[in-house]
């Protein structure tokens, strides 16, 4: 019976060094291979040109590199690029490159499908099949960095975890991926240029604060009224706003990092004065900014974009209490809509 080979990127540098010592080789060989796997982005052991052929053959006999493959790439007239990313087991996730005049942002996925049930989101219609491994998350960023350099003549500026999946339900792998993205042995990006977006899981927000993470936090809020939020995001009945508020206050006390609220305004759902007033009140608890997002309809159902007047009511009320508000317009409208609300994000 053939033994399934382990993905070599699951090993730490120390574990790689130990593997080579156990196989009568020098420990420094582990450093070489580790560099090829991460900072040099090797897709196969044959890429490792400064490693002897017998050593490469030994690696081939013991391990695999479960690298992603960009299956299809779509480029929009506005510069947005959407990647359909095929994983080693044939499953597919999406990632998006979103350019502005001053930067490029990678929007990456953390799960295949999603275990939450947000009614407005296309990804929620896909059952969660599995979590992405750290290397699979990392590879999405590497691919988009290459596209940024190719199409926009500069390296990737920012990363947002706003693609398929709930990042905090794949916490350990997301943290490991960010560690490699920010490591000098990986991509060397500043954690301050990374934002993790969650639908709001209080205990995991507190855990991030306790773990002293350096990246930024965004929360998909969409309503500051429990009953309306439960209509939009049914799972949130398990995480009432009072618990979310407490977790966000804890986050700010520990990190002193301002929170971003992602907020879509829908016609007939959260476009009334009571919803505006509730958000204004919620924004007073913790220093924050608000991103009002233009909705990308996924069908002709109940979730439809609200009027400009409704958007302006939110902007005026929030600016009156000193909250910075940005309106995120939908990007890449001339290519297939990205999963969930990927195409709406500019970071």
Annotated binding-site members: 114, 118, 121, 165-166, 197, 220-222, 296
Q: Which of 25, 88, 89 is nearest to 59 (CA)?
A: 25
Contact, 132 vs 170, CB < 8 A?
yes
Distance CA 297, CA 292 (A): 15
Contact, 159 vs 197, CB < 8 A?
no
Q: Is-catalytic flag, 94?
A: yes
Per annotation, catalytic residue among 94, 147, 262, 294: 94
Distance CA 68, CA 86 (A): 6
Q: What is the dihedral of CA 7, 69, 97, 232, to 10 degrees?
A: -70
Per annotation, catalytic residue among 283, 288, 339, 346: 339
Q: Give the three-class secondary structure for 112.
A: strand
Q: Which of 187, 171, 154, 193 is nearest to 37 (CA)?
A: 187
Contact, 278 vs 221, CB < 8 A?
no
For 47, which DSSP code? G
Contact, 347 vs 105, CB < 8 A?
yes
Distance CA 261, CA 292 (A): 8
Q: Is-catalytic flag, 339?
A: yes
Residue positions forming the annotated binding site for S-adenosyl-L-methionine: 165-166, 197, 220-222, 296
Residues carrying an active site annotation:
94, 339
């Amino acid at each position: 019976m053939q033994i399934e080979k382990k993905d070599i990127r699951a090993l730490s540098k120390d574990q790689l060094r130990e593997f080579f010592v156990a196989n009568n080789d020098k420990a420094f060989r582990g450093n070489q291979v580790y560099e090829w796997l991460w900072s040099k982005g090797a897709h196969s052991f044959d890429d490792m040109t400064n490693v002897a052929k017998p050593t490469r053959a030994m690696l081939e006999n013991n391990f695999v590199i479960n690298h992603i493959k960009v299956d299809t790439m779509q480029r929009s007239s506005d510069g947005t690029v959407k990647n359909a990313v095929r994983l080693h087991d044939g499953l597919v996730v999406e990632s998006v490159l979103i350019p502005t005049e001053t930067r490029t942002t990678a929007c990456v996925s953390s799960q295949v499908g999603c275990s939450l049930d947000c009614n407005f989101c296309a990804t929620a219609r896909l059952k969660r099949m599995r979590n992405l491994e750290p290397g699979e998350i990392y590879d999405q960023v590497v691919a988009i960095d290459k596209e940024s350099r190719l199409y926009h003549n500069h390296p990737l500026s920012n990363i947002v975890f706003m693609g398929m999946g709930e990042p905090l339900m794949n916490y350990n792998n997301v943290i490991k991926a960010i560690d490699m993205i920010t490591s000098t042995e990986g991509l060397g990006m500043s954690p301050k240029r990374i934002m993790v977006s969650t639908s709001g899981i209080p205990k995991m927000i507190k855990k991030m604060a306790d773990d002293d993470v350096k990246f930024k936090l965004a929360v998909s809020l969409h309503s500051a009224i429990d009953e309306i939020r439960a209509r939009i995001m049914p799972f949130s009945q398990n995480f009432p706003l009072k618990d979310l508020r407490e977790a966000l206050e804890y986050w700010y006390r520990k990190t002193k990092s301002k929170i971003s609220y992602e907020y879509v305004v829908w016609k007939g759902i959260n476009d009334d004065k009571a919803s505006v007033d509730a958000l204004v009140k919620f924004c007073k608890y913790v220093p924050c900014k608000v991103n009002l997002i233009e909705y990308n309809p996924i069908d002709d159902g109940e979730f439809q974009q609200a009027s400009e007047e409704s958007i302006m009511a939110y902007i005026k009320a929030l600016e009156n209490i000193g909250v910075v508000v940005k309106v995120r317009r939908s990007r890449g409208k001339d290519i297939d809509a990205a999963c969930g609300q990927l195409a709406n994000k500019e970071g």
